[in-house]
Structure 1
Amino acid sequence: MTTPLTVSHLAGNYHPLPVVLTDGKGSWLRDSAGVRYLDLLAGYSALNFGHRHPAIIAAAHAQLDRVTLTSRAFDHDLLEPFADALAHLIDADLVLPMNTGAEAVETAIKASRKWGYEVKGVAPDRATIVVADGNFHGRTTTLISFSTDHDARTGFGPYTPGFRVVPYGDAEALAAAIDETTVAVLLEPIQGEAGVIVPPADYLPTARALCDRHGVLLVADEIQSGLGRTGSTLACDLVGVRPDLVLLGKALGGGVVPVSAVVGRRDVLEVLTPGTHGSTFGGNPLACAVGLAVIGLLETGEPQARARELGNHLHARLADLVADGSIVAVRGVGLWAGFDIDPGHGTGRELSERLLTRRVLVKDTHGQTVRLAPPLTIEQADLDWGLDQLVDALHRPTAH
């Protein structure tokens, strides 16, 4: 393990685990002292295909020798192919490329409001969007305005109006919050930052039916849950729900560059006309090259199948830990899990630190919860080794 700098000029908005990583391949990383670590976090799903996947890196290298940025003042030869491939993968009409996940969410909010005014006929400046508590959609001033996370929200007011927060997974509360001003319901199909919270099986189908009944858009934030993580291309696919807008990010950039997109209905995204929204880097040539490589991997169905198969194995092993009392509860689907530890085993942060000494990388959230999101390319033997280290860390606070 490497020693952090004693004096830093880096702003302290993160509290990382004490390791300095220098290179990685597949599911493994190495620090500056040459120690290898198994990555069971995968950049919060940004590294669904592992570190330096050969197909993704080859696409990036090839594009670096051609052109990396044109701005959207001009077209380039990969922009339409990227949009076409992503629209076909998600079964959607239009693609609006952006960079970060938060930008995708902001874009969807703008599109939903403008659609509400121009198409649905909501009175000017009266549009409301229904969201869920425990949400994590990003940390811009608008997005933290409807966050229920004290650390993310406190001290950043005044807050942006126009949002109604209801309990996640409560279809009756969702129904009660919709009125004539509602233009959209914005939900994570599975809440990642909250601890991999999976809603009741009928929650998303009920939300879809409510939106249809009231002429409201259903917007699914699949930035963490999408692109293979849950064993399907989208988490919404697991319950047969087709949103009006899907928000993608993280894994779409292959762990190489930030790439995000809003994908969905033509009549909704067409309300954003020239001059109403944009991004200098959104849909840049390098991003499109990497995104096309990612889409190509997903089109085979292999990453989704691996997530299903290895996810079943992961959850079976975690269920054993619940049964023997090693952990309190576990949630998730596919290669994605959040588990809660008894305070007698320490906090989630302390468990993450103990796993670090055992050369396994995970991250805590909300005190007693630890999240697991291995690369979809992980070998089962490596996954089992990592889970063995988890068992050891739960029962033996000091690594041997």
Structure 2
Amino acid sequence: MDFSFAEADEGFRREARQWLGEHLGGAFAGARGQGGPGSEHEGGQARRAWERELGHGGWIGLGWGAEGYGNRTATLTQQVVWAEEYARAKAPGRYGHIGENLLAPTLLAYGSEEQKQRFLPPIARGEELWCQGYSEPEAGSDLAGLRTVAVDAGDGTYRVTGQKIWTSLAQDADWCFVLARTDPDPGARRHDGLSFLLVPMDQPGRIEVRPIRQLTGTSEFNEVFFDGAVARTEHRVGAEGDGWRVAMGLLGFERGVSTLVQQIGFAEELASVVRTAVDSGTVTDPVVRERLVRQWAELRTMRWNALRTLGSSGPAEGAPSVAKLLWGGWHRRLGELAVQVRGVPASVGPYDWSEERAYELDAMQRLFLFTRADTIYGGSDEVQRNIIAERVLGLPREPKGGARS
């Protein structure tokens, strides 16, 4: 397979590079490199303003087609080019990626024309931010076991009550797409009776957001409590009870072009680990050298796999699960390697004795701690392997209540 880009793509690359170079200065110079997984607590106000700058420049919604909901249109390879240049420019971590990359493709596939007209343009302008209401304290990987309920109030609204957890950016989001149970008695299939609702977050007394403090000392995830929160029936995506199909379709969109952006960030982290190994002298250890080379080779393989998947005629069954298994384990091993190459100093947090307080963790320490969760969030490794086994390889499902592997 030819992994090179056409001349038109390279022209698009030059345009993207020029725009980023011109706009990542001035008011946004201090936001460069801020945000993203493990650092979502950084530069919130500046990153929200940057979303509006991107929208004004026409860089949000490149893959939405020519229907007029977004800004400029771009081919799939040009979307990859933009993503690569964005990452290489160390532009701020995207505050609007949940709306652009998750909700928008879902609305394009399952939403009504009225919903597309209402919600896509504000996302494209960088004006409305979204969060995702899926996981619950007792329904993470087992999403079908969720308990959040939405009751039809009979006045054109649902009243949503329940709790969601691990909700990124909920503290700043304007809207949340929520998977809730609209039928309290789904019968034999727990997947039945769920609905996909678009819920406004500005409902004081009905929605409460509580930050979750992480091992890194920061809080980029949240618990969200719904107490009779109002969602309009016209903002239900798909039919009532059809939420599982819509939600699974959304998860299929989650690992498209964005995986290539992620890999550029991974490459920069790997380069930093290599520099640390050279500076500390641990690069002379043949075991360390072998691990560094393996990380590099696996990262190249992930890139080729992502390009191959994007270039296929249609979404391959199980491809998102394969991608998640590859990058989750790779990134976690990189975090472990970041600690290994530094030796003992990596395990000691700096301390300000004059004020008797610990400094903030450095980048390599945050990398190690945050990547412990990479094989869990976004679908645990165990669940991804079950998906591949059952849906791709055709292996029998495990007995109900049995241990999952």
TM-score range, shorter chain: under 0.3
The two structures have a TM-score, normalised by structure 2, of 0.25
Larger relative contact order (Cα-Cα within 8 Å, sequence gap ≥ 6): 1
More helix by share: 2
